Amino acid sequence: MIEQSVLEEVLGVAMRTGGEFAEVFAEDRRNASAVLDDGRVEELTSGRDRGAGIRVVVGDTTGFAHTADLTEAGLIAAAEAAAAAARGGGGGTNVVALDRRSASRGYDIETYPGDVPKARKVELLGRANDAARAVGDAISQVSVSYGDNRRHILVANSDGLFVEDDTVRTFFAVSCVATGDAGMQTGRESVGHTIGFELFDMYDVDQLARNAADRALTKLAARPAPSGQMPVVIGSGGGGVLFHEACGHGLEADLVAKGASVFRGRVGQQVASKGVTVVDDGTMEREWGNIAVDDEGNPAQRNVLIEDGVLTDYMWDHLRARKEGRRSSGNGRRQSYQNLPMVRMTNTYLLAGEEDPEAIIASTPKGVYVKHLGGGQVNTATGDFVFGMTEAYLIEDGKITEPLREGNLIGNGPEVLQRIDALGNDFAMGPPGTCGKDGQGVPVGDGVPTLRVSSLTIGGTAA
Amino acid sequence: MSEDLLAIADRVVAMAKPGEQIEAVVVRGTETEIRVFGGDVESLSSAQSQGVGIRIVVDGRQGFAYAGSLDESAIAETLADARDNVSFATFDEFAGLAEPDGVVIPLLDLHRDAMISFATADKIAMAIELERVVMAADPRISGIESAEYADSISEAAIASSAGIRTVGSETSCFLATYAMATEGDETQTGFGFSVGREPSDLTPSAAAIEAAERATRMLGAVQPASGRLTVVLDPWVTAQFLGILGYTLDGESVLKGRSLFADRLGESVGSSLLTLIDDPTDVRSFTATDADGEGLAARRNVLIENGVLQKFVHNAYSARRAGTVSTGNAVRGFKSTPSVGCLSVSLVPGSSDPAALIAGIDDGVLVQEVSGLHSGVNPVSGDFSTGAEGLRIRNGELAEPVREFTIASTLQKMLRDVQAVGNDLQFLPMNATGVSLVVADLTVSGS
């Protein structure tokens, strides 16, 4: 994307005013998407974003500038702007010699979506639409979306790091509306992996469409969710967002450093039930949160955050790690070249236990079974978090009975982690997610086995 | 200053082939973001970005492409991509661009040159002052999660082969901070902000004191008992609900069978106290604009009047399909085709101040923050359930702080259960304006 000699020159300019660290992050990203809604392929969209973000660190201050102009002159102008923003004292001379490394993710993309004829992508939309509508007359609306992107990044910094990576992601989702006597309900199914068009060798779009339609139909007969506290069983693969919110964000070192995390100062302490092991793993092959290197050029890692209930470590980016005199954990990510990186999760999951999932449900006299969670949100300073249930059922006398309408569950991270009293042996990863923090979205994955929380507050309307 | 963008849009439109309708949206944004921590700048970002989106319609089929660049080669590639995409769309007799409708684009005071001349050092000083006042506001303030100043100059030009040709520039800025208050092991948070069109509109001390007050008053919060209560939504919370309500009144959702109000035009859908307007021409609103995403004049639309549903909002496509005219509600960035949406929704304020609203409630909750709206509100079914925190109201007075509970109902029922609208309009950094709202009979789920 950019010549090594140009990068060295630009980094030299960035450091000239007394910078302690400088970095060029360049990105060339192509997006393609297609949407079918209301029975029509509405449009295909193609997009390209290309540019570079340059940051300069002086003391505790980071200066940042970005440009869509990748010529030497454009990059030097951005480097000067970033250096000025960092307000360095000046007078430094810096020669930067880059050491080119290779990024590896351990598997190959089989079919680049850019090589697939657009007609084939459009054909998938029509098939899913037909399959969803065939599920029943109550399916009153269907929307189907396809998306792929290819993101080529380059990171070069004043420590001599120089690495490039090329990432391909492919995504497919079906959303249905079902209409019945009591109004409308919705059902959704989405899949996404850090792979190419071979996504459709892994999944049958007809089946995905039927799953979405079934979810909407099931909810037509749903009753309002209960209001108040009761045991909650979360289904395998459906509820990783629980850990993303209950502890993931609170273990991001930038929030910890500001005192904005309930997990501050708790490394080495028992923060969760015994048996609970939580991992953030950017190396997880083909998963939605997979990265070969993070957006600061550090290799992805498998980081154990909580081991058998004991907090082992936080997640780190370059800046926070540098302050603490340690290495980054490969969690420095950003939405695009227009953003500064910060500590972000990748694929966050809870390891399987040993119990039979059926037995977990059977040993719950009364509670809620959540098969699929929606999004969530956490206040890391208080630990209070919410997450939505998009597919849930009542558990009565150890059996899954009636479907429930949507609602949020609310809990406190440190308390909920201590209340996990059953872990199934049926681990699975869940659907692709987008994690938002400070206005930046990045792709993340999550996974859980079937598990039970002994008590959570369910935010329904039924007494 | 934005005339160069219009020239680019004109050039793209001039490349139309016979039988092609072309629309070009060309934007440029100049943004500054300053975060401070510990009395010093933590990060300062300053950048200009630009982009072009090209929409082509040929014989009832639409294609689209965009690029984050205004280079001639990028524009040529984008135009070729948009052309290539056309053939894959399904024929739609209503597909097409917006036609000029004779509504004059209002002259609004949305661009301030003062923004451009305001020195970076003064912006930094303002952010540092914001943090300083938060830290000094109360001995229980333990720190800040963030304190920032941000501003932007947004320029956009739209031109089309249908005869649309508009260009505009808007400036905006805000200060925002999240404060933390700590007592023993317990930490609570609160935010404050200030919005304006130029830095001199901003009041760092008011934003700081609000954040400190919202954080400290939550100390000692407990989980409330479950029950059905009257709830006062503070302006910030009301605005978030109005944003979602706006979705249900979007003409495209109506046409596609996704609006719970689809068959209700002319009917009572809520308390007679409710009058909901979408008015992007109110320059006090952060998202005020003179033109919509298709270059038609922005306008004031009354959506619900005294509880009766009056109007859905439309862009050119949804209007044509519904057999009506665009209400000037095309919403888009340069990376997408226009969708339909409210631009700046607001309730017409009532006469009572917030203290008077609270004084009228024996047993209730003031909700100052909600969480999980994206996962807890389904605008198609109307079901909603969100995390909440705030203060109990007992015998007309604010009582103990409460947290870790949810409030739930349906949007339909909530509109009927509105008991009062406050007089405290608050302009926020979002597309909805806040005001205190009293809603009866919400389900509170706690202990």
CATH number of the domain within which A177 lies: 3.30.2290.10
Residue B168 identity: G
The pLDDT value given to residue A462: 85
Question: Considering only alpha carbons, which residue of chain B is nearest residue A39?
Answer: B90
Distances (CA, A) of A399 to A68, A402, A425: 58, 10, 19
User: Which residue has better confidence, A17 or A235?
Assistant: A235
How far apart, in whole angstroms, are the C-alpha atoms of residue B53 and residue B159?
A: 11
Give A336 to chain B, closest Cα distance, Å.
12
Domain that holds residue A343: 228-459
- Asked if the structure places residue A92 within a domain, the reply is no
- Within 8 A of A66 by CB-CB distance, chain B residues are 45, 47, 49
Can you say how many angstroms the Cα of residue B17 is from the centroid of all Cα atoms in its chain? 38
DSSP conformation letters of B167-235:
EEEEEEEEEEEEEEEEETTEEEEEEEEEEESSGGG--HHHHHHHHHHHHHTTTT-BPPPPEEEEEEEPH
Task: For tokens 């399987």, name the residue.
Answer: A352
pLDDT tens-place string over residues B95-123: 999 999 999 999 999 999 999 899 999 99
Same domain membership, residue A345 and residue A270? yes
Do A287 and A192 have their domain in common? no
Please identify, among A179, A204, A220, the residue that sits at the C-terminal boundary of a domain: A220
Question: Please, which pLDDT band fits residue A19 given cuts at 50, 70 and 90?
Answer: confident
Instruction: In whole angstroms, give the CA distance from residue B318 to residue B331.
Output: 12
Q: Which residues of A touch B82 (CB under 8 A)?
A: 46
Judge contact between A283 and A290, C-beta under 8 A.
yes
- Provide the CB-side half-sphere exposure for B223 (13 A, CA): 19
Q: Are residues A210 and A246 both part of a single domain?
A: no
Q: List, in sequence order, every beta strand (DSSP E) within B216-349.
A: 227-233, 276-278, 301-305, 308-309, 330-331, 339-340, 345-347
Strands B61-67 and A40-58: parallel
Please tell me which residue of chain B has the smallest CA distance to A121. Answer: B88
Span A24-37, average pLDDT? 97
Are B50 and B8 a contacting pair, CB within 8 Å? no
pLDDT at A89 over 60: no
A455 part of a folded domain = yes
Q: What is the average pLDDT score of chain A? A: 94
Hey, which bits of A181-208 come out as E strands? 183-193
* Residue B152 CA: distances (Å) to CA of A146, B42, B45, B155: 33, 19, 12, 10
DSSP state of A113: G
Q: How many domains does chain A have?
A: 2
Cβ–Cβ contacts within 10 Å for residue A324, how many? 12
Q: Residue B397 pairs with which residues in a beta bridge?
A: B394
Q: How far is residue A80 from each of residues A156, B246, B274, measured CA to CA in Å? A: 16, 44, 54
A91: confidence class by pLDDT, cuts 50, 70, 90: low
In three-state secondary structure terms, B269 is: coil
pLDDT tops 80 at residue A286: yes
Classify residue A320: in a domain, yes or no.
yes
B98, B316 Cβ separation under 8 angstroms: yes
Is there a contact between A225 and A460 (Cβ–Cβ < 8 Å)? Answer: yes
Judging contacts by C-beta atoms under 8 Å, the chain A residues touching residue B335 are: 45, 47
Q: Provide the percentage of residues in chain A whose pLDDT is more than 70.
A: 98
Q: Give the other-Cβ count within 10 Å of A199's Cβ.
A: 24
A9 lies in some domain: no
The three-point CA angle B73-B74-B78 to 5° equals 120
pLDDT digits (tens, 9 = 90+) for B314-351: 999 999 999 999 999 999 999 999 999 999 999 999 99
Q: Quick check: A119 pLDDT over 80?
A: yes
As a residue count, chain B comes to 447
Tell me if residue A115 falls in helix, strand or coil: helix
Contact A338/B49, CB-based, under 8 Å?
yes
Contact check, Cβ <8 Å, A64/B46: yes
Per-residue tokens: B192: 């404050």
Q: In the prediction, which pLDDT does B205 show?
A: 96
Instruction: Average the pLDDT over B13-17 and give the result.
Output: 96
A236, A207: one domain = no
Residue contact B446–A228, C-beta within 8 A? yes
Which single residue is written with the structure tokens 């910094």?
A157
Q: Are the CB atoms for B251 and B322 separated by under 8 Å?
A: yes
| Rounded-to-integer distance, Cα A171 and Cα A149, Å | 9
Residue with tokens 């991270």: A413
Question: ipTM value of the model?
Answer: 0.91
- Alpha carbons A82 and A175: distance in angstroms, whole number: 43
**DSSP string over B30-75:** EEEEEEEETTEEEEEEEEEEEEEEEEEEETTEEEEEEES---HHHH
Region A230-247: mean pLDDT is: 91
- φ/ψ of A74, rounded to 5, equals -65, -45
Domain final position from A220, A238, A257: A220
Q: How far apart are the first and last CA of chain A?
A: 61
A263 within domain boundaries: yes
Contacting residues of A for B387, CB less than 8 Å apart: 377, 384-386, 408, 410, 459
The residue of A17, A44, A385 whose CB has the most chain B CBs within 10 angstroms, and thus the best one to mutate to test that interface, is: A44
d(CA B354, CA B365): 13
Share of chain A above pLDDT 90, in %: 88
Residue A385 lies inside a defined structural domain of this protein: yes
CA pair distance B373, B387, nearest whole angstrom: 8
Q: How confident is the model at residue A93 (pLDDT cuts 50, 70, 90)?
A: low
pLDDT tens-digit readout, A132-147? 999 999 999 999 999 9
- CA B283, CA B109: separation in Å to the nearest integer? 7
Interatomic CA distance for residues B420 and B366, integer angstroms: 14
The distance of A179 to chain B (nearest Cα, Å) reads 9
Do A179 and A258 reside in the same domain of the chain?
no
Cβ–Cβ gap B69/A379 under 8 Å: no
Q: CA-to-CA distance for A236 and A249, rounded, in angstroms?
A: 21
Where does a domain end: A220, A242, A260? A220
Q: What is the mean pLDDT of residues A171-190?
A: 95
One domain, residues A242 and A193: no
Question: Between the CA atoms of A253, A259, A265 and A271, what dihedral angle is there, to the nearest 10 degrees?
Answer: -80
A258 closest CB neighbour out of B143, B255, B376? B143
- Degrees to nearest 5, angle at CA A306 with B387 and A315: 80
What lies within 8 Å, CB to CB, of B121 at 6+ separation is none
Spatial CA neighbour of B339 closest among B310, B304, B315:
B315
pLDDT of residue A11: 96
pLDDT of amino acid A67: 93
Q: How confident is the model at residue A238 (pLDDT cuts 50, 70, 90)?
A: confident
Same domain, A277 and A188: no
- The reply to whether A237 and A215 lie within a common domain is no
Is B172:B37 a contact under the CB 8 Å cutoff? no
Mean pLDDT (chain B, rounded): 95
Same domain, A206 and A244: no
pLDDT of A104 > 60? The answer is yes
Cβ-contact B15, B23 below 8 angstroms: no
Which amino acid belongs to residue A75?
L
Structure confidence by residue, pLDDT tens digits, B145-202 = 999 999 999 999 999 999 999 999 999 999 999 999 999 989 999 999 999 999 999 9
Nearest-angstrom CA–CA distance, A190 and B359: 48
| Interstrand relation of A161-180 and A99-102 (parallel, antiparallel or unpaired) | parallel
Chain A contact set for B42 (CB, 8 A): 60-62
Contacts of A185 in chain B (CB under 8 A): 378, 380-381
**For residue A92, is pLDDT > 70?**
no
Chain segment B236-283, per-residue pLDDT in tens: 999 999 999 998 999 999 999 999 999 999 999 999 999 999 999 999
Residues B230 and B72: their CA atoms lie apart, in Å, by 59
Quick one: A275 and A196 in the same domain?
no
Give the pLDDT mean for B4-10: 96
Q: Identify whether A324 is part of a domain.
A: yes
Question: Is A297 in the same domain as A424?
Answer: yes
Q: Residue A240: which pLDDT band, with cuts at 50, 70 and 90? A: confident
Q: Chain B contacts of A119, Cβ < 8 Å?
A: 88
The answer as to whether A141 is a domain residue is yes
Asked whether the predicted pLDDT for residue B439 surpasses 80, the reply is yes
How distant, in Å, are the alpha carbons of A61, A195, A204, A365, B334 from that of A108?
39, 8, 22, 48, 33
**Both structure tokens of B53:** 């989106």
What pLDDT shows up at residue B162? Answer: 97
Overall average pLDDT of the A45-62 stretch? 94
Tell me which amino acid residue B31 is: E
Asked if residue A88 has pLDDT above 90, the reply is no
**Cβ–Cβ gap A386/B376 under 8 Å:** yes
Q: Tokens 């769309």 label which residue? A: B89
Residue B435 contacts residue B422 (beta carbons within 8 Å)? yes
Contact A210, A131 (CB under 8 A): yes
pLDDT band at A100 (very low <50, low <70, confident <90, very high): confident
Measure B94 CA to nearest chain A CA, in Å: 11
> At which residue do the structure tokens 């190959």 appear?
A108
Whether A195 and A317 map to the same domain: the answer is: no
| Predicted structure pTM score | 0.94
